[in-house]
A and B are shown apart, each in its own frame.
Chain A
Amino acid sequence: MGSVWDQVSEAVSVANYRPRLRADLTWARLKSRRGTPYTMLADRPRLYLRLGPHDDFLASRMDGSRRVSDLVIDYFRQFGRFGFDRIATLVRDLRNAGFLTDPPRDVYETLDRRLKPPAAPPRTGRWEGTTLKLRLPLRGIDPVVSRLHDRVRWIFTRPTLFLTAVIGVIGLVAFIAEIRAGHDPFAPIGNSSVAGLIALVLAFYTVIFIHESAHALTAKHFGRRVDEGGFMLYYFIPSFYVNVTDAWLIRWSRRVAIFWAGPYSGFVLAGLSSILVALLPGPSLLTTLLFKIAVAAYINNLLNLMPLLLLDGYWILEEWVETPKLRQKALEFVRGPFWHKLLDRKRLTRKEAFYAVFGSLCAVYSFLSIYLAFLWWGRRLRPILRPLWVTPGLLAKILLVLVVAVVAIPLSIRLGRQLWRYQRAIRQAPAAAKKALQTIRVRDRQRLLQGLGFLRTLPAASIERLAKAARIRDVAEGATIVRQGERGDEFFVIAQGEAVVVVRDAGEDAMVERKAAGDFFGERALLGRGIRQATVKAVTPMRLLVFDQRVFWTELGGVVAWESQVRAALQERERLRSVPLLSDATPRQLDLLAVKLAVQPFQQGESLMRQGDRGDAFYIVREGQVDVMARQNGRSRRLSVLGPGEYFGEIALLRDQPRMATVRGKTDGSVWRLERQDFRDLLGRYLDLDAQLAGIADARVPRGHSVAGAA
């Protein structure tokens, strides 16, 4: 038992946390279209998490008996590498999602809420969702869907499916023939164009209702729950929806079948209507209505199969390209990284090019949809509002006010809020444009500076300041840039070309060094008495970044003075990067490790650890070789020889157990040594990279998506 402070340290260490998954979660181990395994972990019907095989390995061990540090060991044994951030992220995701037995708790957040209570309590209206996806949900519909499915189970038999496909194909041919023959989809009913329009709208809602029912019944046919459905304003267009998120727990082909069921129902309905229109005699009320249903179904299918909004076509595409949250990722790429890549003139990968095209199309289509929605509302409200306004009497006016109050005011408020946000963005646009222009100007210099090894440790803000302060100077081949003995007040970084450094000693010139792109010179005069110590001549045409004395001292002085140390640190990091165990680590993680890893030299025959000793550190061979020896039945036996990049002592890192072998230097060399406590500290640091992890966490969670029809 250690001191109280040791115990406090243990108590607050996240490495000691024992995650326990709730027993009532649903697991589904599945494969993607290309056979990549993945796992869905669900708290049905609330939340569904998608895990990769590595995360599955970890999650299945979260039974409350293992600490986070044990999971690190298990992961290490299984995959041969440290999974610090993976484990940290997973534990955090699962806990925040409420999948662990102890829910997350934040006393400061609760305190902040008590200290600063919101001005108005959150509205608990019946409407849910965002402005562009406003839902009026009806929950608990699963039993109804089950009963309906029991009655129409026959529609999923092979003969029925074959027959409906034939009807769909023949019907499409019949529909095209009707259109070519001049059949008007907007034909009036009983000489009334308003009646014709109302009939078309009713046909749309009939089609959408059947479309959504097809989704729900197919999901039920595959044993899924359909807990929610309802009315929705999708991009301001009224429609119905059903939530089939439970389809995440079945294989991808069945999920696609559920998404396809909606458009397929429309295809069959339109086909049947078109065939009847062709078979029934002459134009009549019935053929007019049937033709309107066919038109509504085909248009609805077109809208739904367009993969640019979150409708059936999109969900099918997402399954096909195996990219969860494809639309969100593509839009995010178009908003930010795409422009940075353009500014940096970097080539796009195939995936990025796809994101760029798909994201741009999605953005354009979204705006187009909003515009079309306004047209839709205008067309539908005008015939109702205008007659009411011109009708004499108070009742008509009251009706008009009611219609405006019920439909227009809530929509206007929501739209107003949205526009207010856009207006703010527009107001800030000139300043943003100015900043963007400035960014483009300094971008090239910044790129040059970022490529210089010794400046890698500078924060981005300093690099940017340097880029703004640097002057570009082009130098012709053979020109003298600085001359020995002259006063110097400038510092140079070579962007392009080569130079030689010549020192005159005892009347003779001697070339002492060759400088190339990425090197610098002129610092000695600035750090010393202001006199150049050597002559530098261009041996090729050169481009230099020139910094004056003031910039040198404010931004570069310290960096240059420490350059040798920085170079050494960078070399160490490069060495670490070449260790297979750490090949997945990011530069930042390597920096964190480089600080904690101590270099320990050893000589041939020197013991680094002895069998039976208490283990308290982990080693990676840096240089040379070591012998791993074990004593069995009184005899010492060599188990293996380890070389650079190989490691030993890993189990002792976290567990109190004696060493299983003796390790001795086979040659002279050195090892990196990671102390047990340092390992814990590192783990703690990974667990606190909040902002970074939140992004990853969000990307992992497939939000409950719904299938919606659009009128």
Chain B
Amino acid sequence: MQCWICAAPANGTCRFCGRAVCRQDAKLHSFVLEVYPADGTLYGLAVEDALYCGVCKPRAEPVRMDFLSEPPEAVSNDTGKQ
């Protein structure tokens, strides 16, 4: 795999988007592995120096996605076989 930025051999992939990056072009970014509730609050398992390509744009603010809780439209899994 080649680095997304300079096309040199890549050393890893961006934790956020999966782009491959070489050691020179790799950047570091904090990353939340998992969040769980406890004691009435939220706790997170975090990595402070996860690989980051510097190209993708991890949103610094949570994005409201209430449409995900809406009931799904009628979807058919019918493959046509009777």
A interface residues with partner B (beta carbon < 8 Å): 1, 4, 7-8, 11-12, 104-109, 111-112, 114-116, 688
Distance (whole angstroms) from the CB of A16 to the closest CB of chain B? 10
Whether B9 is near chain A, meaning CB under 8 Å from some CB there, is no
Decide: B58 and A108 in contact? CB cutoff 8 A.
yes
Q: Is A12 a contact partner of B30 (Cβ separation < 8 A)?
A: no
With A4-B68, A115-B30 in contact, is A107–B62 under 8 Å at CB? yes
Q: List 23 A-B contacts (CB under 8 A).
A: A4-B67, A4-B68, A7-B65, A7-B67, A8-B65, A11-B64, A11-B65, A11-B67, A12-B59, A12-B63, A104-B61, A105-B60, A106-B61, A107-B60, A108-B29, A108-B58, A108-B60, A111-B30, A111-B32, A115-B30, A115-B46, A115-B48, A116-B48
Q: How long is the Cα–Cα vector from A109 to B73 in the complex, in angstroms?
A: 38
Residue from the set B29, B30, B64, B73 with the largest chain A CB neighbour count within 10 Å: B30
Tell me the bound Cα distance from A12 to B65 in angstroms.
9
> Which 6 pairs from chain A and chain B are nearest by CB?
A106-B60, A115-B48, A111-B30, A7-B67, A105-B61, A112-B30
Q: Is there a chain A Cβ closer than 8 Å to B57's Cβ?
A: yes
- Please give the distance in Å from B22's CB to the nearest CB on chain A: 16
Of all chain A residues, the one with the shortest Cβ separation from B29 is A108
Residues of B in contact with A, size category = 10 to 19
Most B-side CB within 10 Å, residue of A108, A109, A688: A108
Per the bound structure, the CA–CA distance linking A7 and B44 in Å amounts to 27
Distance between Cα atoms of A574 and B75 in the complex (Å): 50
B57 to chain A minimum Cβ distance, whole angstroms, is 6
Contacts of A104 in B (CB 8 A): 61
Smallest beta-carbon distance B34→chain A, Å: 13
Rounded to whole Å, the gap between the CB of A3 and the closest CB of chain B is: 10
Query: 17 additional contacts, CB 8 Å, given A12-B63, A111-B46?
Result: A1-B73, A4-B68, A8-B65, A11-B63, A105-B60, A106-B60, A106-B61, A108-B30, A108-B60, A109-B60, A111-B44, A112-B30, A112-B48, A114-B46, A115-B46, A116-B48, A688-B57
Task: Report chain B residues within 8 Å CB of A8.
Answer: 65
Closest residue of chain B to A102 (Cβ to Cβ) is B61
**CA of A593 to CA of B64 in the docked complex: distance in angstroms?**
30
Quick one: which of A11, A105, A106, A116 has the most chain B CB within 10 A?
Answer: A11
| Cβ contact within 8 Å between A107 and B61 | yes
Q: Which residues of the partner chain B approach A11 to less than 8 Å between Cβ atoms?
A: 63-65, 67
Cα distance A12–B62 in the bound complex, in angstroms: 9
In the bound assembly, the distance between CA atoms of A656 and B77 in angstroms comes to 31
B47-74 contact mask (Cβ, 8 Å, vs A): 1 or 0: 0100000000111111111011000010
Report the bound CA distance from A594 to B52 in whole Å: 28
Residues in chain A near residue B32, CB distance under 8 A: 111
Determine how close the nearest CB of chain B comes to the CB of A253; give it in whole angstroms.
43
Closest to A113 in B: B30
Nearest CB on B from A558, distance (A): 11
